[in-house]
Amino acid sequence: MKQFEIPEFYRSPIISKVKEKRKIEDPRKKDFSPSLLDFGSIKFYISRHFGFCYGVENAIEISYKAIIENPEKRIFLLSQMIHNPDVNNDLTSHGIQFIQDTDGTQLIPWKDISSEDVVIIPAFGATVEIEAILLEIGVDVKQYNTTCPFVEKVWNRSERLGSDKHSVLIHGKYNHEETRATFSHSKVNAPVLILKDLTEAKYLGDIILGKEPIENFYTFFGGKFSEGFNPKIDLIKIGVVNQTTMLANETQEITNYLRSVMLNKYGEANIKNHIADTRDTLCYATNDNQTATYGLLEKEADLAIVVGGYNSSNTTHLVELLEQKFTTFFIKSKEEINSLDSINSFNIHTKKIENYTTFIPKNKEVVSIIITSGASCPDSIVDGVIQQILELTQAPISIEQALKNHFLL
């Protein structure tokens, strides 16, 4: 497996050792149970899979390579490299500027970009339209293109669906950079529609089965379909692909539901002519992280902490899973932990940072904490959270001793 060159800023003394041990013990990733680090008064259940995936490590390596190789040039990122504030802040500290924000709003006019500038394409990819603008300016869009290969895999699958006369249904968030890019690339070869969730898929199913007037399609899905999309024709053959950071089981649930709709309308004998098998578009890293989170749900713990950027889709989904069982705090870094009685946590439902005065239980001899992070969160940030809690609780077992005990298990 490729080893990436990532700055020391992203390394960690705790998590890296735990991950290395799991890699040796479970090279085929068959065991999704968490690792346990015991500090006496505090026990951490650490997710089997979390943190940087292949696509993120690749993007970061290429970005720092661009900085090193172009000391005299202006360097731009099309938008945020990944959805993590620490990563993006570190890149901007090296002089990198963002051309757009995460919603696609222009921060630097295209006219201010020249062919002498370096433009890095983020891990989410770029739309066909933006690539065309950059090429017209004279920017090399290939040299520092960090588009995740699993995102490109979705694009390639969409192209094949289009060549086979299928319409492409994207399970994703409409305004997410990756969804915008996938939509743009897919519509070149096929009619395209974006579905946010199963509720929207069920409404689409009612349109396909004639339970809802076909005219309602244009109102309900306004702004979420490609130009010229004709539901009378373009919903006869479909294939579902996903924004790679969405919950894999939700994508499969949507696919299974729409397959049942097609079975209802066209029958078992004809089903292959109406819905494609697209399970191959699911991202292995997102799938592993989510499966490992289900492994965390099998444990008993006092609370859960998810670390990552608040605008990170894959991190938000981890919070959604864990809060079904645990009191769950979503924080971007150790700075959100003020004391044992105060933590600032992002509420994924209100979209606001809220202060909680009930954090670490006081009347327990041993407190058990679930901890994980999103695919765009450096292990060093998770390390910082663990160390902050250990310092505040004055845990009796040192990090060195806990790691030694862990390796002797």
Query: Catalytic residue positions?
Result: 178
72's CB contacts (< 8 A; 6+ apart) are none
The torsion defined by the Cα of 387, 392, 396 and 402, in degrees rounded to 10, comes to -10
Supply the DSSP string of 317-349, one letter for each residue. Answer: HHHHHHTTTS-EEEESSGGGEEETTEEEEEETT
75 within 8 A of 96, measured Cβ to Cβ: yes
C-alpha span between 255 and 72 (Å, rounded)? 50
Nearest in space to 254 (alpha carbons), one of 239, 267, 274: 239
182 within 8 A of 174, measured Cβ to Cβ: no
38 DSSP β-pair partners = 43
171 DSSP β-pair partners = 195, 242
C-alpha span between 409 and 340 (Å, rounded)? 30
241 DSSP β-pair partners = 170
Q: Is 20 helix (H, G, I), strand (E, B) or coil?
A: helix
C-alpha span between 407 and 409 (Å, rounded)? 5
C-alpha span between 165 and 189 (Å, rounded)? 9
Distances, alpha carbon 321 to alpha carbons 82, 153, 171, 349, in Å: 22, 26, 18, 13
φ, ψ of residue 352 to 5 degrees: the values are -130, 150
Angle, CA of 294, 295 and 299, to the nearest 5°: 110
